[in-house]
Chain A
Amino acid sequence: MHTTKPTDAYTNNPLIHRDRRLGRSQSPWVRSFACDDMSVLVVCRGPIRKEAIDVFREMGMTKVGILLSEKDSIGYPRALSPELRVMDPKHVHAVRDYTGATKDERIERIQQMIAICREHGYRYVFAGYGFMAEDAEFVRTLEEAGLVFIGPGSYTQRAAGAKDEAKRTAIANDVSVTPGVNDAAARTLLAKYPDTAALEKVAKEHGLTVTAGKNDTLEDSAERVLQAGYAKRIDLYTIEELQEQVRKIAERLLAENPGRRFRLKAIGGGGGKGQRIFSEASVVPGLVREVLGEVKATGVGDNKNLLVELNVESTRHNEIQLLGNGDWCIALGGRDCSLQMHEQKLVEISITQEGFAAAQAAATGRKADVLGEQLDVLRRMEEEAERFGRAVKLDSASTFECIVEDGRHYFMEVNTRIQVEHRVSELCYAMRFTNPSDTSDWFEVLSLVEAMALIAKHRGRLPRPVRGQREGAAIEIRLNATDRALTPAAGGVIVSWSDPIEGEVRDDQGISIKNPDTGLYMRYRLAGAYDSNVALLLATGADREESFGRVREILRRTTLRGLDLATNLEFHLGIVTWFCARDTWAKPTTAFVVPYLTLVGELAFEARTVDLEYAFQQIVRRRVAAAGEAIGPATKLALERKETLLARPLLLLSEEPHYLSAWLSEQHRNFEIADGRVRWLRNPIEVLAATYHLLHLDDQPGEPAANRIWDHDQDLLDTALAFYEALGKLPPSPLPWVELDRTLRESTTPQWGLDATRWDAVRAAHAGHQLGLDLLSLLPLIAEKTGFYDLHLNDDLSITIPDRLRDPARQDAMRKVLVPPPATKADEIVAAMGGTYYAQEAPDLPLFVSAGMHFEKGTPLYLIEVMKMFNKVYASFAGTIDAVLVDNSVVVRKGQPLFKVTPDEWTVEEDPADRQRMVRANTDRYLAQVI
């Protein structure tokens, strides 16, 4: 696997694979950090497992084991962990699951892992970003068993992992946290009893037993008195006093943060209850009563504490990569993870001080200011992260998470583990470890997993590394098994996946490892037993724009084929292109993706009301008619010849709204729409060529003809492009397309030194090559009608989201346009087979369903016993059970009604002829704008 292997982007990719054996170094100092004798048990799954196996083997380790859970082995056929194809079965250890479903199971699993380590001689344990990785209990148990955890030790886990303690540590270390107060009640009490003596006195008066701590502050004492009061169910302050106190707090906070809004939260609140947002202090007393009432905390002795926090309006999610060995701690740049949906990250983008500085230098105006602001924020976040890391004695890799808003950032939490998106950082910064006594004696570490293993083994011996820039920028795409609306869609089977292109990092859990014996692609079922993530795709570049361009190229060229397969590949191509076409420094908030998807849903809805094949026929008819008798036949012939060239890519665009979105972003500077008409600013032939390119149909020699532009279409397109290239050189100075086009259409007198014959020939060719391109103009018109460009980028890099895209009802409606939910005409569910019907899995287990119950698609509904086999039957749509029609454990025949139901989605009966009339009428309206 080392030096002799030829480079290929999957198994020997220079970006992520290398010989990491320090034991082979010339330098004795470097050699002393060898790790080849480590034996590691990898206890997690996901892309990190394959990465860890690779990295550890590259470090020279020969004994790397993995756990294999039941879901990864027997859950579904063809869902067997692909890593097994390269594992010695001796190093694969079966477990029920990786984490255990309950606390007891978890403890049992930990003991099982320890037993496996003992039995097979693993000294180190690596947990990646699995659930176990952040479990202080797990880490402590391993440590006590004499094993070494490759990851933050239990001390760090506790100090940084617990949220309240982390926040205290943050404040103590001058780390920026959300402004506000979380002890309004204590402050109210202190307003009445401002010192220890007064507090003691009031406690005594009420007969409260308060045990004081050694180093109690005044606030601590107030807190203890309050707790004693709640215990005895007496009030030490009135609601009016609390109202006044909170009003004062609000007044101060609003004055300190002009123009901002704050959030009032009752301590017993949650799930949106007991919360109010305010922007002036006068309304606060009223709100205090409202929130207390809402959480039912107005009674005597109730805990009436309130929190007042800055309301973060437009959140961006940034995080800093940290690495430490307990003594030192170093920040390795950051990642912008704002592109996410329902808290699930979709795209992670590197942020580095070097990157911001360079971009700022190249920018002007408002953009330069904003980039400068971001540079300052990043610098502060990195400094604070390092301080925090040292304070918690960070001894491995961790992530310091913040929310960012304009020029401010607020610390949220620390993830004491390696994160999914860690590669984004390791691709940007290398870690150089230098011999303290000889500066020419050093080694470089380019992998965070490698660094974690090194620290686990060598700890304090490792000097603080210096970070050096590797790649200017990196970006990661999460390829998930989700449908067009990004909801999980498990069950598909990958039949083939194009090989990675140069510069592509594909962390796919080993799915693309071919059958080692036959070299054939192995089918892989995306069982969805865990999350929907399939793979991580990364690209790098000298700067952000280049990295975006490259990842877009990866997305464009990735071909996944399969059965019932749905991934977010198309979504990613659309959204990455959205940024590429505008500005990759744009600052989307975490609330960007849903409105964007809604916009794509609108596109899909409109595209379905346009019949492109019909439109082309109409264009032929009208063009031929307009050409008249003399040139009609030639016009018809030329149009016939162009049918597949024009219709094929446009049909593909209209069928995949995410591609249509990508196309509209890519082309948006190439046309204008005025008075409802499209005016091309670029030769539509070039636009057509770009369309083929976008759809990855133009550049794959050796691929099956059906997956490429047809050869005759390629010939036609090449001829046209060559013609216009030669034509472009004829005028004395280059003409813009609009001018060139007009001259060719209108001037009957020869131009640019051509004789009359040549001029006519050129005009004839121009007329021919432009014929039928009217069809292209339908796409901008669809965008215009749906308001696609209403979602736009501002000078300050913020994004304007139209109100309609924020409307939850519209979001839901468009989600259903993108992915129509399974609908049914039936109001009953019938027996799938004949046999004995059972309403429960076993007599002592609960009923599967009962009248009035709502069921989702995939919910088990009943059991049928056929010849001693119990077949579980699942719902094929979602709905509500109105009535159960049969008794438990009776024999039913196939097709016999079992339940009366009301489905969530009824099949809407639509006459296909009506639909066709509607679509054609709409298409005619579009055509009226084109011809």
Chain B
Amino acid sequence: MKSKAKQQEPAPQAAVAPTLDNPLDETPTGPSGDAVSLYDRVLADAHDLRSKPYAASSTLQVMRQHAKGRMTVWERIDVLKDKGTQPVVLYQNWGRNLDGASIVTAVVKIRGRDVALYGHDFTVRAGSMDATNGRKLANIIYLAGNRGIPLIGMNDSAGAFVPAGVGGLDGYAEAFTALRRISGVVPSIMCMFGFNAGGGSYLPRQGSFMIQPAGTFFGLTGPGVVKSALGEDVTPDDLGGPKVHGASGVSDITVPDEVAALRTAQRLLSHLPNSNRVAPPFEPTSDPIDRRTIEIETLLRTAFNSPSGFNTPLDVTILIQQVCDHGDYFELQPDRARNAVTAFGRLGGHVVGFVANNSAVASGQIDIDAAYKIARFVRFCSIYNVPVIFMEDTTGFLPGREQESRGIVQAGRAMLDAIIDLRTPRILLIVRNAFGGAYAAFNSTATGADVVLALPTTRVAVMGTAGKEYTYKKELQQTRAEAAAKTKAGMDEKEATAWLRSKEAEFNQRYERELMNPREALSLGSISEIVLPTDLRAELGRHLEFLIARYTPGPWESVQREFH
């Protein structure tokens, strides 16, 4: 319409330079700077300094951050902290420009708890690390460690500030060192915002958990370097987006956006203790501890009575859900190796770690990814006074060339080491299959389990039905010879084979009946007791209560073992 008017009457008006203000605004502006006392000037100066980090970036820089759909560090803090509370901002005037040096460090309240946090201010020099702000970062990290409060990192940094030279690298090294020093002392959660490369990835991965929203990247180097070094064309998302890191386990949790990342951090935090000196937060529950878990009975009945019988996969998270207070649990690494499930939940108000084989995915076999996933989680629980309930339902480790060549022996070992080392109350529940090496490794009595419970469907054995070859060696040889004799005697070969198959099936059934059950393990004391599916919550709750009452939370002070 504008141009239409223009076309009809070509530019009749004198051009005016557009402004974006309100010239009709009559509100008086603040008192003019004239005639203030010396004291007033000092005060005004202090005000300026105090507000400096908030005003360090221009509106256009903030707009650029927003145009990418990202919040500023202050806006992120606002989402994280309890409403109505003020963050205690530390070293607000750090750095030569007195603007906080593009990193915000603060102590905030989250659900009433003090939490240390840092966040890069991308709107100030792209949140880069310079000669001095590495120490600022290290300071908040040490503060968290020394005072025994959790740490949250909101990473959004372009990397080292190149003009700062080696100083920027030293800054990273200081921060790395600090984070390693508090590792195992206080838990930390790292949110990955924006585009973090190099040190910006290595630093946060030292934390306990990483949360990555969609539309972000982190990694060794960005696609540009990859292109010039290797000639590979790859998008940031395909190189270091949440799908990539979620599948590898580098990111523990992937979420749709920044707000979800911060909310997830809050939720995760509600399961973590302040430090290795205390237990995770207890929440009294209104869910009766003796609530009968009829649903588990139904689940097992439905699964095992289905056409595929005892070989029917089942989703183990349903068991976890039924055991937990009000069915609420928090799964970690849900996008990676779901043949094993790791989750936090509460039982009788106590935080518990769940480690479960999940036969619904890839038969619940333990492969390299599952083993590392379990190892890391168990190690975390061990350090931070979190009791662990294991749920076993696996026929063993995944064999094959691919696994061996990638090092399943090492990965399985890492899992086994973490389990042996586990020092917190630890319970094993055998759901169904517990075969061979997996049985031995997966929190068996011999590895130090406090209690081993077994559902009636338990099948503990050295191996599956292939074990008939060893158990009934002679009888099988005899049967096979008989089959051969039958063929010789003129029986149709097909018929003879069919006869042999049916005989072998009988041996299978016999093996299942005689050896794939909990009897031997019970007699050896490897299984403490049989529990009924309907009593699972009550039984687990009872044992846990007993064990927790006799466990004193504190730092892990045993001999340091080698660890992969």
Contact = CB atoms under 8 A, between A and B. Distances in A.
Interface of A: 68, 70, 73-74, 76-78, 80, 84-85, 89, 94, 96, 495-496, 515-518, 520, 522, 561, 563, 627-628, 630-631, 634-635, 638, 640-644, 647, 677-680, 702, 704-707, 710, 712, 716, 719-720, 722-723, 726-727, 730, 742, 745-748, 758, 760-765, 767-769, 771, 774, 777, 833, 841-842, 845, 863, 865-871, 930-931
Given A74-B298, A705-B71, A867 B365 contact: yes
24 contacts: A76-B318, A77-B315, A77-B318, A80-B321, A495-B263, A517-B349, A522-B328, A561-B256, A631-B17, A640-B63, A680-B1, A704-B75, A705-B72, A712-B62, A722-B24, A723-B24, A723-B25, A762-B24, A842-B307, A842-B308, A867-B363, A869-B311, A871-B362, A871-B363
A517 B288 CA distance: 12
Nearest to B290: A89
A710 B61 CA distance: 13
B271 to A, nearest CB: 10
Contact of A868 (B63, B258, B311, B328): B311
Contacts of A495: 260, 263
A520 B19 contact: no
A822 to B, nearest CB: 18
A515 B326 contact: yes
A854 to B, nearest CB: 24
Interface stretch (B7-15, B229-237, B446-454, B549-557): B7-15
Contacts, number: 232
A764 B18 contact: yes
Given A77-B321, A517-B346, A870 B21 contact: no
A831 to B, nearest CB: 13
Contacts of A94: 294-295, 298
Given A517-B284, A631-B17, A726-B24, A706 B294 contact: no
Select the residue from B1, B14, B349, B396 with max chain A CB neighbours within 10 A. Answer: B1
Contacts of B292: 89
Contact of A745 (B5, B262, B326): B5
A841 B285 CA distance: 42
B20 A719 contact: yes
Nearest to A864: B363
Interface of B: 1-5, 9, 12-26, 59-60, 62-63, 66-67, 69-72, 75, 78-79, 83, 256-260, 262-263, 267, 270, 283-288, 291-292, 294-296, 298-299, 302, 307-308, 311-313, 315, 317-318, 320-322, 325-328, 346, 349, 359, 362-365, 395-396, 398, 433, 464-465
Given A520-B267, A641-B59, 20 more contacts: A70-B295, A70-B298, A74-B318, A76-B318, A89-B291, A515-B328, A517-B285, A634-B18, A640-B63, A644-B63, A704-B75, A704-B262, A706-B75, A706-B259, A719-B20, A722-B24, A742-B5, A767-B17, A771-B18, A866-B362
Contacts of A84: 326-327
Contacts of A641: 20, 59-60, 63
Contacts of A516: 285-287, 326
Given A515-B326, A768-B18, A841-B308, A678 B1 contact: yes
B283 A517 contact: yes
Given A745-B13, A870-B311, A631 B284 contact: no
A504 B516 CA distance: 58
Q: Can you list the 4 inter-chain pairs with the closest CB atoms, starting with the nearest?
A: A768-B18, A869-B363, A842-B307, A705-B75
Contacts of A89: 288, 291-292
A930 B6 CA distance: 12
A761 B396 CA distance: 79
A149 to B, nearest CB: 26
Contacts of B23: 723, 758, 761-762, 764-765
A635 B18 CA distance: 6
Nearest to B72: A705
B66 A644 contact: yes
Contacts of A771: 18
Contacts of B71: 704-706
A163 to B, nearest CB: 37
A719 B326 contact: no
A760 B16 CA distance: 7
A865 B311 contact: yes
B260 to A, nearest CB: 7
A774 B2 contact: yes
A705 B62 CA distance: 12
Contact of B313 (A68, A627, A871): A871
A481 to B, nearest CB: 18
Contact of B14 (A627, A702, A748): A748
Nearest to A871: B313
A727 B24 contact: yes
B258 A716 contact: no
Contacts of A842: 307-308
A171 B59 CA distance: 75
A310 B262 CA distance: 62
Contacts of A496: 263
Given A89-B291, A496-B263, A746-B12, A866 B1 contact: no
B22 A765 contact: yes
Contacts of B307: 841-842, 845
Given A518-B270, A870-B313, A638 B9 contact: no
A53 B259 CA distance: 35
A764 B1 contact: no
Contacts of A767: 16-19
Given A74-B298, A705-B71, A871-B363, A765 B59 contact: no
Contacts of B433: 868
Contacts of A870: 308, 311-313
Nearest to A513: B326
B15 A627 contact: yes
Nearest to A757: B23
A628 B15 contact: yes
